[in-house]
Amino acid sequence: MIIEFQREGGEEFWLTLGLARTPGRRLDLEEAIIALGISRGRPVSEGFYRYRVIEQESRWRYVEVDRIGAFRPVDRARITQLT
């Protein structure tokens, strides 16, 4: 599966981070975030990210990564309130 990632850059601006590839046809977000970090040469940092599965949909989904690298899904309305 190929997943595209972007990082929240403030004021509704998103920075493109790149693509991550995971084996199989199921979405494993943790595996995708790790793959993204490996492809960039460093783990993803704390903040808000959005992602979409290239082969399946164009709808963005949102996730927050905390300072220890754990992540949790969030909805777009919450991101808008926090930024």
pLDDT of residue 55: 79
Q: How far, CA to CA in Å, does 53 sit from each of 19, 26, 74, 83? A: 10, 10, 17, 25
Distance between CA atoms of 82 and 29, rounded to whole angstroms?
23
pLDDT of residue 82: 53
pLDDT of residue 52: 92
* Kind and range of the H or E run holding 14: strand 14-21
pLDDT < 50 regions, the chain: 83
